């Protein structure tokens, strides 16, 4: 129990590899030392938002870790300045459920905000996504401020410069935590919930160890 509470803090101090969001463009230039904190240290939303696909969007990131877990949370506030702004009464608003994959370099995975079920997501809405990444040595965060549009698709260079990741996970982070609790961390929808995903979930306050 004590280890579970203590682990994310200990690991945060020794992060030595990172990730860089390539598309959509993050709130500001990547700041390595700030990445273990909310939105890579950028507290406020920017006004030059990326017009981003309401459905069938894509996230492109550079991973410096060979084995990593990632999930995306979303806020519908105009200027979300804390993790609480990404939360609802039933917990974090998940745009992409946590999944684990492997490989270093530029990776793409799908994000379909229209089907996230989060209230307030619609054509023309301003939202902020926060990419939550964990390569095993601490949880890292980058944000992008968006205006959603039903009329745009991701730019071709966002999807041509990456290796596509197939995301098969579904369900909620809470369900993952519940499953992990009952199985000691075995599976979520047939996908192993490893120590990396567990660490990422714990960093969001979804402790289940
Ligand atoms: C979205 O954000 C932009 C820039 O911050 C602002 O000018 C615009 O009024 C906002 N739109 C909505 C629907 O809130
Ligand atoms: C917004 O403008 C800043 C400053 O010019 C730039 O660094 C950033 O990349 C821009 N963001 C987007 C999403 O275009
Ligand atoms: C998010 O919501 C959950 C459930 O209401 C709550 O337990 C948790 O403390 C909240 N987290 C934040 C950062 O507000
Ligand atoms: C998308 O197109 C529809 C129909 O032309 C329009 O009403 C809507 O405002 C457009 N959405 C955005 C975000 O521009
Ligand atoms: C796509 O091209 C634009 C314009 O040249 C560039 O700013 C952006 O970084 C590129 N995006 C990716 C993911 O390579
Ligand atoms: C990745 O998937 C997207 C969307 O299906 C596709 O447009 C793109 O060509 C793929 N990229 C690569 C490098 O296979």
Q: Is the CB of 59 under 6 A from ligand 5?
A: no
pLDDT digits (tens, 9 = 90+) for 7-28: 444 444 456 789 999 999 999 9
Quick check: helix, strand or coil at residue 109? Answer: strand
The radius of gyration of the chain's CA atoms, rounded to the nearest angstrom, is 16
Q: Is the CB of 199 under 6 A from ligand 2?
A: no
State the Cα angle at 56 between 162 and 88, rounded to 5°: 110
Per-residue pLDDT, 194:
62
pLDDT digits (tens, 9 = 90+) for 72-101: 999 999 999 999 999 988 889 999 988 888
Per-residue pLDDT, 10:
43
Long-range contacts of 114-121 (CB under 8 A, 24+ apart): 114/54, 114/55, 115/55, 116/74, 118/74, 118/76, 118/88, 118/93, 119/76, 119/88, 120/76, 121/54, 121/74, 121/76, 121/148
Q: Could you state, in order of their start, the residue ranges of all structural domains in the chain?
A: 3-203
Q: Is the CB of 122 under 6 A from ligand 4?
A: no
Kindly report the average pLDDT of the chain as a whole number: 83
| Residue 110 bridge partners (DSSP) | 58
Cα separation, 62 vs 132, whole angstroms:
13
CB 106, CB 58: distance < 8 Å: no
For ligand 3, atom 9, name the residue with the nearest CA. Answer: 205
* Site of tokens 């991973």: 63
CB 152, CB 51: distance < 8 Å: yes
Question: Ligand 1 pocket: which residues have CB below 6 Å?
Answer: 47, 49, 78, 124, 126, 147
**Burial track 171-194 (b if 16+ CB lie within 10 A, e otherwise):** ebbeebbebbeeeebeebeebebb
Per-residue pLDDT, 25:
97
Per-residue pLDDT, 143:
98
- What top-level class would CATH report for the domain 3-203? mainly beta
């Amino acid at each position: 129990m004590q280890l579970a509470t203590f682990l994310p803090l200990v690991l945060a101090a020794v992060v030595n590899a990172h990730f860089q969001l390539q598309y959509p463009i993050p709130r500001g230039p990547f700041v390595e030392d700030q990445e273990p904190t909310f939105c890579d240290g950028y507290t406020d939303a920017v006004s030059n938002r990326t017009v981003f696909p309401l459905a069938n969007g894509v996230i492109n990131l550079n991973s410096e870790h060979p084995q990593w877990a990632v999930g995306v949370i979303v806020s519908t506030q105009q200027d979300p300045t804390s993790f609480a702004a990404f939360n609802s009464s039933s917990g974090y608003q998940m745009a992409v459920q946590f999944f684990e994959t492997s490989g270093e370099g530029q990776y793409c995975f799908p994000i379909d905000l229209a089907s996230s079920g989060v209230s307030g997501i619609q054509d023309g809405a301003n939202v902020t996504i926060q990419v939550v990444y964990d390569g095993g040595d601490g949880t890292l965060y980058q944000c992008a401020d968006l205006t959603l549009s039903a009329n745009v698709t991701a730019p071709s260079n966002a999807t041509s410069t990456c290796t596509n990741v197939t995301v098969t996970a579904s369900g909620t982070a809470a369900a993952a935590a519940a499953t992990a609790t009952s199985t000691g961390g075995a599976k979520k929808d047939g996908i192993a919930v490893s120590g990396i995903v567990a660490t990422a979930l714990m960093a969001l306050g979804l402790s289940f160890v």
